[in-house]
């Protein structure tokens, strides 16, 4: 199979990442999915292997440079050079800035911004050589709206948007598109941990009056990867039920 038909999805074991991997598989792509541990790798295998769409499930902790290096070695050993990259993996370490520890800032930056740079730079050369590529970076509504207690996360996600726009301008003439998708309040494991008051407060800010689904984010990513989106680059697509209107 052509490398054009292989997509690398980081953080593919659950939630938005798994939904993206499944949507791209349904679109005919083979999937290389990553997870931080064995349980996550098993989840990817169980979800994608039966369909025949799974090319590889590989361990990757995007907060750890050594893990990134080992992941790149594993890709090379398997002779994999995907031409579709979905930078989805990320973490939060919420805190008010006055209480925020260096580790909370650095971990969020490493996972949500530094890893996007490292992964994209590594996979970009094969895309340039092929004169084809699709890069989709999962950012967040808080990268444009801000959110109290998330100055680290908001800063990293805003950085992803700036990164997306800049890279799109650098490589548009090589047949490579670079876009971002900014989810709002999405029904995932993370949001299910919120208490009723927190959920009610968030829902009150959403004109549609409900949380989004991982599948709705995945559908947007799948479109941006498709041939129908070949003339779209440098954009941030907001999927938030009207919570924030750019």
Which residues are designated catalytic?
A: 153
In sequence order, which residues have a C-beta less than 8 Å from that of residue 50 and are 6 or more positions away?
A: none
- Is there a contact between 128 and 140 (Cβ–Cβ < 8 Å)? no
- Comparing C-alpha atoms, which of 60, 56, 50, 61 is closest to residue 7? 56
Cα–Cα distance, 221 to 206 (Å, whole number): 22
- Is there a contact between 224 and 27 (Cβ–Cβ < 8 Å)? no
Cα–Cα distance, 185 to 117 (Å, whole number): 25
């Amino acid at each position: 199979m052509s490398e054009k038909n292989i997509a690398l999805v980081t953080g593919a074991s659950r939630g938005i990442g798994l939904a993206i991997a499944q949507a791209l598989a349904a679109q005919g792509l083979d999937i290389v999915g990553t997870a931080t541990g064995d349980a996550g790798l098993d989840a990817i295998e169980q979800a994608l292997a039966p369909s025949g769409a799974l090319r590889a499930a590989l361990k990757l902790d995007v907060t750890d440079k050594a893990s990134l290096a080992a992941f790149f070695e594993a890709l090379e050993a398997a002779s994999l050079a995907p031409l579709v990259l979905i930078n989805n993996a990320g973490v939060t370490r919420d805190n008010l800035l006055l209480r925020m520890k260096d580790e909370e800032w650095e971990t969020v930056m490493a996972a949500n911004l530094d890893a996007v740079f490292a992964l994209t730079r590594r996979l970009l050369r094969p895309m340039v050589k092929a004169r084809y590529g699709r890069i989709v970076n999962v950012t967040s509504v808080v990268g444009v709206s801000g959110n109290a207690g998330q100055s680290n996360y908001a800063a990293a996600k805003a950085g992803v948007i700036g990164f997306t726009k800049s890279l799109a301008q650098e490589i548009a003439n090589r047949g490579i598109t670079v876009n971002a998708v900014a989810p709002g309040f999405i029904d995932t494991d993370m949001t299910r941990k919120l208490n009723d008051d927190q959920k009610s407060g968030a829902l009150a800010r959403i004109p549609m009056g409900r949380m989004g689904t991982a599948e709705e984010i995945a559908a947007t990513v799948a479109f941006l990867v498709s041939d129908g989106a070949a003339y779209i680059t440098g954009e941030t697509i907001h999927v938030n039920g009207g919570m924030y209107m750019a």
